[in-house]
Amino acid sequence: MSELTKHIVPLKGTMKIPGDKSISHRAIMLGSIAHGKTKINGLLTGEDCLNTIECFKKLGVNIDRNGDYVEIEGKGLTGLIEPSEVLDVGNSGTTIRLMLGILASLPFHTVIIGDDSIAKRPMDRVTIPLKQMKASIQGRENGKFTPLAVHGGGLNGIKYQSPVASAQVKSAILLAGLFANKETTVIEPESSRDHTERMIQAFGGKVTVDGLKISVPGEQKLTGATINVPGDISSAAFFLVAGSIVPNSEITIKNVGLNPTRTGILDILKAMGADITIQNLQNDVMEPYADITVRASTLKGVEIAGDIIPRLIDEIPILALAATQAEGDTVIKDAAELKVKETNRIDTVVHELKQLGANIEATDDGMIIHGKSSLKGAVVNSHGDHRIGMMLAIASCIAEGKTEIKNNQAITISYPGFLEQLESLKQ
């Protein structure tokens, strides 16, 4: 056995992953503005979702959490009260952008902030349309950056052509539109994840979808619901790639959400030659889910571009790692949105994978990875970005020698227990 194969340990086992982050946020938010009790099973208990809960508690909502089971006493939008404290979203872009849509409907003063990463991320993509609906929003650079002060209420329904395929933008406008004086329509350049549309209907609300055009009538009333949150495919993605690139691995992941607006990772891994089997598909009316098994295989480079990008935007860091282990070039294009995530993910992915010996270069709207390269252990850094931290932890499973990940506590933002679960798969 060579030195390299001696320390590369196959990953084997059956695992359950935490609840979907996007669905968890929306369940807390809609439960908080609905009338009556909401029960959530399988909520993601990562820091981002806990911050969403804290924000609604400050708005006067009673929320009880016991592990991943949550009960919310919804009193409707008009039951929310003016908070005496600042709302703090921590690192969560979904919390701040979707909450802005809700705060825009509230006829009182709120101030919302986040951490250093949030302070650098553009909020004008949401504040511009919300101001068009007549919400008053103030912030640095005319409402582009936090801290943001909002005074809402009395909104006008609008028709908005969004310049970006962003579910956060679409959702903020639709949430504001639920309580506007007339219909609100958002038109997207490409389809983004549709969890908000599905969840509004689960809470008894109305949404119509006509291709890229999504509309909600105004003056709606939502009713509490029971929501079962499936596992997060964006979290499963780390193990789908790990199972593909760590020799002799075989991993089964239970109850993974398979909403078609999120399954770009499966399409790309299959195109790269990954050995992936889907079993026990449950066509749940709200969100489909299934068990996925992945076995190690030989991968080849592909092009990742166009309208698949919004369907896998959060999976690009881990796909870039997969590409370092694929034969030939992988070209990622049309992904400039990566620059405004928790970190500039074009820069952080390219920089950190280079540290490990990958042959990778940044482009204006993506990256090019020349495979296949053998990775070597090094000191690397998550830069406080949970998905970069997890990608590097998977990279360490195939890198020769020791890899040290600085700032790996960021992983708990979306995946508490990730490192322990990864260790438990090592055979």
Q: Which of 88, 197, 314, 315 binds ligand S3P (CB under 6 A)?
A: 314
Cβ at position 336, least distance to ligand S3P in Å: 11
Which is nearer to ligand S3P, 90 or 371 (by Cβ)? 90
Compute how many residues bind ligand S3P; rule: CB under 6 A.
11
Q: Which of 91, 94, 263, 348 binds ligand S3P (CB under 6 A)?
A: 94
Q: Do residues 146 and 119 lie in contact, with contact meaning Cβ atoms separated by under 8 Å?
A: yes
Indicate whether 192 belongs to the interface with ligand S3P (CB under 6 A).
yes
Indicate whether 313 belongs to the interface with ligand S3P (CB under 6 A).
yes
Indicate whether 166 belongs to the interface with ligand S3P (CB under 6 A).
yes
Indicate whether 167 belongs to the interface with ligand S3P (CB under 6 A).
yes
Cβ at position 33, least distance to ligand S3P in Å: 17
Whether 314 sits among the annotated catalytic residues: the reply is: yes
How many other C-beta atoms can be found within 10 angstroms of the C-beta atom of residue 142?
12
Cβ at position 92, least distance to ligand S3P in Å: 9
Indicate whether 184 belongs to the interface with ligand S3P (CB under 6 A).
no
| Residue corresponding to tokens 């949550």 | 70
Indicate whether 391 belongs to the interface with ligand S3P (CB under 6 A).
no
Cβ at position 412, least distance to ligand S3P in Å: 16
Cβ at position 327, least distance to ligand S3P in Å: 29
Indicate whether 199 belongs to the interface with ligand S3P (CB under 6 A).
no
Of the listed 194, 232, 314, 385, which one is catalytic? 314
Q: Do residues 149 and 164 lie in contact, with contact meaning Cβ atoms separated by under 8 Å?
A: no
Cβ at position 23, least distance to ligand S3P in Å: 8
Secondary structure (H, E, C), the chain = CCHHHHHCCCEEEEEECCECHHHHHHHHHHHHHCEEEEEEECCCCCHHHHHHHHHHHHCCCEEEEECCEEEEEEECHHHCCCCCCCEECCCCHHHHHHHHHHHCCCCCEEEEECCCCHHHCCCHHHHHHHHHCCCEEEEHHHHCEEEEEEECCCCCCCEEECCCCCHHHHHHHHHHHCCCCCCEEEECCCCCCCHHHHHHHHCCCCCEEECCEEEECCCCCCECCEEECCECHHHHHHHHHHHHHCCCCEEEEEEEECCCCCCHHHHHHHHCCCEEEEEEEECCCCCCEEEEEEECCCEECCEECHHHHHHCHHHHHHHHHHHHCEEEEEEECCCHHHHHCCCCHHHHHHHHHHHCCCEEEEECCEEEEEECCCCECCEEECCCCHHHHHHHHHHHCCCECCCEEECHHHHHHCCCCHHHHHHHHEC
Indicate whether 168 belongs to the interface with ligand S3P (CB under 6 A).
yes
Indicate whether 412 belongs to the interface with ligand S3P (CB under 6 A).
no
Which is nearer to ligand S3P, 168 or 396 (by Cβ)? 168
Q: Which stretch binds ligand S3P (CB under 6 A): 29-37, 163-171, 225-233, 244-252?
A: 163-171
Footprint of ligand S3P on residues 41-70 (CB under 6 A)? none
Cβ at position 193, least distance to ligand S3P in Å: 6
Indicate whether 126 belongs to the interface with ligand S3P (CB under 6 A).
no
Indicate whether 316 belongs to the interface with ligand S3P (CB under 6 A).
no
Indicate whether 22 belongs to the interface with ligand S3P (CB under 6 A).
yes
Indicate whether 325 belongs to the interface with ligand S3P (CB under 6 A).
no
Q: Which stretch binds ligand S3P (CB under 6 A): 165-173, 213-221, 343-351, 378-386?
A: 165-173
Which is nearer to ligand S3P, 112 or 375 (by Cβ)? 112
384-403 b/e (C-beta count within 10 Å ≥ 16 → b): bbbbbbbbbbbbbbbbbeeb
Which is nearer to ligand S3P, 34 or 165 (by Cβ)? 165
Q: Name the residue number minimizing CB distance to ligand S3P.
A: 22
Say what the alpha-carbon torsion angle 336, 342, 343, 349 is, to the nearest 10 degrees: -80
Q: Which stretch binds ligand S3P (CB under 6 A): 112-120, 161-169, 220-228, 300-308?
A: 161-169
Catalytically active residues are: 314
Kindly list the residues in this chain that would bind ligand S3P in the complex (CB under 6 A). 22, 94, 166-168, 171, 192-193, 313-314, 337
